[in-house]
Amino acid sequence: MNALSNAEPLLHVHELQTHFFTRAGVVKAVDGVSFSLQRGQVLGLVGESGSGKTVTGFSLLGLIDAPGRIVGGSVRLAGVELVGIPEAKLRQVRGKRISMVFQDPMMTLNPVLTVGRQMELALGAHRQMSRKAARARSAELLTRVGLADADKRLDDYPHQFSGGMRQRVAIAIALLHEPEIIVCDEPTTALDVSIQAQILREMRLLVRESGTSLIWISHDLATVSSLADRLLVMYAGRIVEEGPTATVLRDPRHPYTKGLLDSLPAMARPGEELRQITGGAPSLSSLPPGCAFAPRCERATAICETMPSLEGDAVRRFRCHHPVGVDA
């Protein structure tokens, strides 16, 4: 686990803002998110639905569809700015330097094309290869993600694979060009628990072997914490806490993080009632002026009606007027 690295971060996101302009108003899905990612690091992006974590992931690849738009901020990949560049240039980055794995492989793989064909198309997006070479490379990758009989499987259709195998295919596609970063958006949520564990294990090995950085987006603290070096907790489009995984889990600063941890079934003592965070996720088009979590927070006072700034250092940051575990 890297504590502090003096090396230039691989990915540097600064004040990223992605808004959706809908009929009901402007939805500020991502409102000023900043973080860095080092080489070989695994970053866990945690939050409930509507926190903006998925939109953040899509924003990194420039995959925001109308009525949404990146309205501000910057995303620098090894020093190269990605926000605002022409689509043709973005396309050269997608799949080659940053790739993405989605949640439900049944929806992301085309049901009427063979797996081999889809991999071939993905390969052809960035490299000129002969059919044979493309096939060989695809088979190599399928084997690497743990599928037996790779060459035969290339001629199968997605529905002929089980859920877990399909996701492995998606991961294989994401790995085709040896990207520097893979953004994983809830890749194990749609799978059985046992398969989840397998995939997590394999991703860990992958990161170790190839030095690929991962951004692992999830609402499930438990799975993320076994994989991530650092945790980023999001709420209502903003980062509320960031730090090394072990530290954040052991000693959370933000009341929301604490609430999430407390509500994990694993944390409850036998016979005790499961704890919940009261209230529900806020509507992103009508956020309160100050801290977005204040309405649900038992530590909130009048000062929470002003937006707390992100305090802390390069290792640990949080956004709260009344952080947990710090002398009031």
Partner 1 sequence: MSAAASPIANFWAEFRESPVALAALVVVLLIIVVAVLAPLIAPQDPYDLSRLQLRDARRPPGFVGSGGYVHLLGTDAQGRDLFSAILYGLRISIQMGLMAGAIALCIGATLGITAAFVGGRIEGLLMRIVDLQLCFPAILLALVLVAMLGQGKAQLIAALVAAQYAYFARTAYGAASAERRKDYIEAAMATPLSSRRIVFRHLLPNCMPPLIVVATVQVANAIALEATLSFLGLGLPVTEPSLGMLIANGFQYMMSGRYWISVYPGIALIVLIVAINLVGDQIRDQLNPRLKR
Partner 2 sequence: MLGFVIQRFLQAVTVMAVMSVIVFVGVYAIGNPIDVLIPPDAPQDIRARTIARFGLDRPLWEQYFIFIRNALSGDFGRSFIYAMPVLQLILSRLPATLELALAAVLGATLIGVPLGIFAGYRPHSRAARVIMAVSILGFSMPTFWVGLVLILTFAVSLGWLPAGGRGQTVTLFGVQWSFLTINGLSHLVLPAINLALFKLAMMIRLARAGTREIMLTDTIKFARAAGLSEATILRHHVLKLISIPIVTVFGLELGSTLAFAVVTETIFSWPGLGKLIIDSITNLDRPVMVAYLILIAALFVTINFVVDITYAALDPRLRRGKVA
Task: Give the interface segment with partner 2, choosing from 77-85, 89-97, 229-237, 246-254 (CB under 8 A).
Answer: 89-97
Task: Decide: is 23 part of the binding site for partner 1 (CB under 8 A).
Answer: yes
Residues in CB range of 162: below 8 A, 6 or more apart:
none
24 binding partner (options partner 2, partner 1, none; Cβ < 5 to 8 Å by kind): partner 1
Both tokens of 45, joined, read 């992006």
309 binding partner (options partner 2, partner 1, none; Cβ < 5 to 8 Å by kind): none
User: DSSP alpha helices (H): ranges in the chain?
Assistant: 53-61, 87-93, 105-108, 115-124, 131-144, 150-153, 163-175, 193-210, 221-227, 245-250, 255-262
The residue within the footprint of partner 1, chosen from 4, 24, 314, 328 (CB under 8 A), is 24
Both tokens of 301, joined, read 């006072």
The residue within the footprint of partner 1, chosen from 15, 25, 149, 278 (CB under 8 A), is 25
Closest to partner 1 by CB, 70 vs 82, is 70
Judged by DSSP in three states, 287 sits in coil
DSSP state of 181: E
Task: Decide: is 104 part of the binding site for partner 2 (CB under 8 A).
Answer: yes
Task: Decide: is 20 part of the binding site for partner 2 (CB under 8 A).
Answer: no
Residues in CB range of 33: below 8 A, 6 or more apart:
13, 15, 16, 17, 52, 56, 73, 234, 237, 238, 239
Task: Decide: is 84 part of the binding site for partner 1 (CB under 8 A).
Answer: no
Shortest Cβ 24–partner 1 spacing (Å) = 5
Both tokens of 110, joined, read 């085309």
Task: Decide: is 126 part of the binding site for partner 2 (CB under 8 A).
Answer: yes
Judged by DSSP in three states, 215 sits in strand
| Total residues found in the chain within this entry | 328
Task: Decide: is 281 part of the binding site for partner 2 (CB under 8 A).
Answer: no
Cα 124 to Cα 104: distance, rounded to the nearest angstrom:
24
Shortest Cβ 173–partner 2 spacing (Å) = 6
With contact defined as beta carbons under 8 Å apart, do 36 and 65 qualify?
no
25 binding partner (options partner 2, partner 1, none; Cβ < 5 to 8 Å by kind): partner 1
Dihedral (C-alpha) 218, 219, 223, 226: value to the nearest 10 degrees? 70
Residue window 49-78: x/- pattern of binding to partner 1, with contact defined by CB under 8 A: ----------------x-x-----------
The residue within the footprint of partner 2, chosen from 8, 67, 91, 268 (CB under 8 A), is 91
Residues that bind partner 2 in the complex, under the rule CB under 8 A: 61, 63, 65, 91-96, 99-100, 102, 104, 107-113, 117, 121-122, 124-126, 157, 159-160, 162, 170, 173-174, 176-177
Residues that bind partner 1 in the complex, under the rule CB under 8 A: 23-25, 65, 67, 283, 286
